[in-house]
Amino acid sequence: MKAGILCLQGAFSEHGKMLNSLGISTVELRKASDLNQQFDGLVIPGGESTVMIKLLTELDMLERLKQLILSGLPTFGTCAGLILLAKNITNDFRARLATMDIEAKRNAYGRQLGSFSAEVDFKGAGKFPAVFIRAPYIADVYGETKVLAEFDGKIVAARENNQLATAFHPELTKDTRIHEYFIDMMKNA
């Protein structure tokens, strides 16, 4: 099992370390030709979605990644990764992957409360320590998308078939359960 990690910007190395510690090898996706390698899952890390979209467009990776996701590649987006996956954004209109039936709101917790930790209830896993950094939330889900976690009345994790998205950063904690959940998605794909 091998996961491809989008390594253009943001918190990508933490995802790699966590997956490696769980016995999953990783490949770094930094340019279009890296997408020719074989990998069984895709991780889109947190960071700054506007920068990531700009780089993905300049590097000619956006459309290729979109096709891989639409063809069923198990995909895990955290925070900015969630924003890239969202078909709709309440407060931004830039192009992105737009593969997942969710509506996201960027920087949804305001500037004052930029970063915080909280316990969220993750379906099937119980309480999970969640780190939010200038996080979005999911304002709505539709189609096949199922809600996996809510915090403060807002959706903060969801899954639509092969796509998993969290508004928070599980790779910045010691708790590996959400990465294990994603590995199961890769194994069952």
Residue number, 16 or 46, with CB nearest to ligand GLN = 46
Residue 55: CB minimum distance to ligand GLN, A: 13
Residue 155: CB minimum distance to ligand GLN, A: 16
Q: What is the largest CA-CA distance in the chain?
A: 43
Binding footprint of ligand GLN, residue count (CB under 6 A): 11
The catalytic position among 7, 14, 79, 160 is 79
Restricted to residues 58-87, the positions that interact with ligand GLN (CB under 6 A) are 79-80, 83
Contact 5, 45 (CB under 8 A): yes
Give the number of other Cβ atoms within 10 Å of residue 20's Cβ: 12
Point out which residues pair with 160 in neighbouring strands: 163
Q: Which distant-in-sequence residues (6+ apart) come within 8 Å of 164 by Cβ?
A: 74, 75, 76, 77, 148, 157, 158, 181, 182, 185
Task: Give the one residue of 4, 41, 46, 77 binding ligand GLN; rule: CB under 6 A.
Answer: 46
Q: Specify whether 48 is catalytic.
A: no
The two three-digit tokens of residue 136, written as one number? 């979005």
47 binds ligand GLN (CB under 6 A): yes
Residue in the structure block whose two tokens are 């539709």: 142
Residue 79: CB minimum distance to ligand GLN, A: 3
Q: Specify whether 169 is catalytic.
A: yes
Residue 46: CB minimum distance to ligand GLN, A: 3
107 binds ligand GLN (CB under 6 A): yes
Q: Specify whether 171 is catalytic.
A: yes
Tell me the CA distances in angstroms from 134 to 9, 77, 79, 175, 178, one per residue in order: 16, 15, 8, 21, 20
Point out which residues pair with 159 in neighbouring strands: 146, 164
List active site positions.
79, 169, 171
Give residues in contact with ligand GLN (CB under 6 A): 46-49, 79-80, 83, 106-107, 133-134
